[in-house]
Structure 1
Amino acid sequence: MTTRGQRHIDHFFVLTGGPGAGKTTTLLELHRRGFMYMPEVARKIIREQADTGGNALPWGDMTAYRDMMWHRSAAVFDEALARCEKQTVFFDRGLPDTLAYSILENIPVPDKFSRQLGDYRYNTEVFLFPPWKAIYGTDTERKQDFDLAVKTYGVIEDTYVRSGYKTVKVPETSPEQRAIFILNHLNL
């Protein structure tokens, strides 16, 4: 059985970058091609908080929101580990994204999060989606303007590199071509 802890899970691949760069659309294309993916937890938290009148939101209690993202992202990792011993899994963001959010919002990171990061190690190569103004848009869950999306991208890239990952930049092209780029890069 595969276990987590101080080693990378080689068949777990993160797709990350700033908001609105096309990660989720590409993940859905990978899923259409038969690959498992784990959805982003942030949007689900925002919807749940909005539905219940909660304040753990990026425009509310940002620390509570960050903590929920951390715990849910860890749970998603563990769920994938339990379900997919050898199967390739693509993640819509990873735990380092939560650290990047903390940096962006100047929220102190608990020491236990930094220690736990070593227990949740994805493949060392992370697919990074650069900001792409032509496809960028806001909605009820994504309220950042494009300039903040660019800043977010930079912090995310830096956080992954400092966390021991190598980033692979995904080109600005159709979701189908992006999926092919990723699969070719991985020889899948």
Structure 2
Amino acid sequence: MTLGAERLVVITGGPGSGKTTLIDHLRETGHAHSPEAGRGIIRDQAAIAGPALPWTDPALFAELMLCWELRSYRTAASGTAPVFFDRGIPDIVGYLRLEGLPVPAHLDTAARTFRYRRRVFVAPPWPEIYRQDGERRQSYAEAERTYESMVAAYTDYGYEPVHLPFAPVAERARFVTGLIR
């Protein structure tokens, strides 16, 4: 693990499990953050009628996510304070596996090279808060499979998944910040 990787904290899991809500809460309380690549790319590609959408070209979508995550990593690594990532590079591996697509060698290398804090926070599927929208088209069953794929990907890369409690966002934030001190 590179020096400073302990500051780079990933929050992952399936869609609609409260990850972004937690990241937003942490940001609002003064913590640095890195937004989710997937939603940003979907918004940008939809705005320009681009081809890199998960329902159009999943492999190209994954490449753009990798570019986004590498830039976010380098930006965060230059600081000194903890940074909370809404997903990380191993999420892209999990996504490709979920889609039944091969993981390119360069993505595997990126996941092995650009390391985050060993403990990765995972938001488990939570049916009471799950909602679909224009960018989140997955069914709840797909969200569950995504969660399982993310846990497997992070575990395969040597991370320790720590499951977030089913709790209000402020309690989840206290849980996370308490474990990174």
User: Where does the alignment leave 5 or more consecutive residues of structure 2 unmatched?
Assistant: none
Q: Does 1:181 align with 2:175?
A: yes
Q: Report runs of 4+ in structure 1 exceeding 3 Å deviation.
A: none
CA contact (8 A) 2:89 2:110 kept: no
Q: Does 1:133 align with 2:145?
A: no
Q: Which residue of 2 aligns with 1:60?
A: 56
State the 1:178 CA deviation: 0.4
CA distance in 2, matches of 1:7, 1:113: 18
CA contact (8 A) 1:7 1:118 kept: no
State the 1:7 CA deviation: 2.9
User: Where does the alignment leave 5 or more consecutive residues of structure 1 unmatched?
Assistant: 1-5
**Residue identity in the other structure for 2:104:** P
Q: Which residue of 2 aligns with 1:16?
A: 12
Of 2, 8, 12, 1:7 maps to 2
State the 1:118 CA deviation: 2.2
State the 1:164 CA deviation: 0.5
**Residue identity in the other structure for 1:165:** Y
State the 1:186 CA deviation: 2.0
CA distance in 1, matches of 2:32, 2:90: 20
Q: Which residue of 1 aligns with 2:98?
A: 104
TM-score (ref. length: structure 1): 0.93
Q: Does 1:120 align with 2:114?
A: yes
Q: Which residue of 2 aligns with 1:151?
A: 145
CA contact (8 A) 1:17 1:130 kept: yes
TM-score (ref. length: structure 2): 0.96
Calculate percent identity across the aligned residue pairs. 37
State the 1:36 CA deviation: 0.4
Alignment root-mean-square deviation, CA: 1.0
CA distance in 1, matches of 2:170, 2:109: 37
Q: Which residue of 1 aligns with 2:86?
A: 92
CA distance in 1, matches of 2:54, 2:23: 24
CA distance in 1, matches of 2:17, 2:61: 22
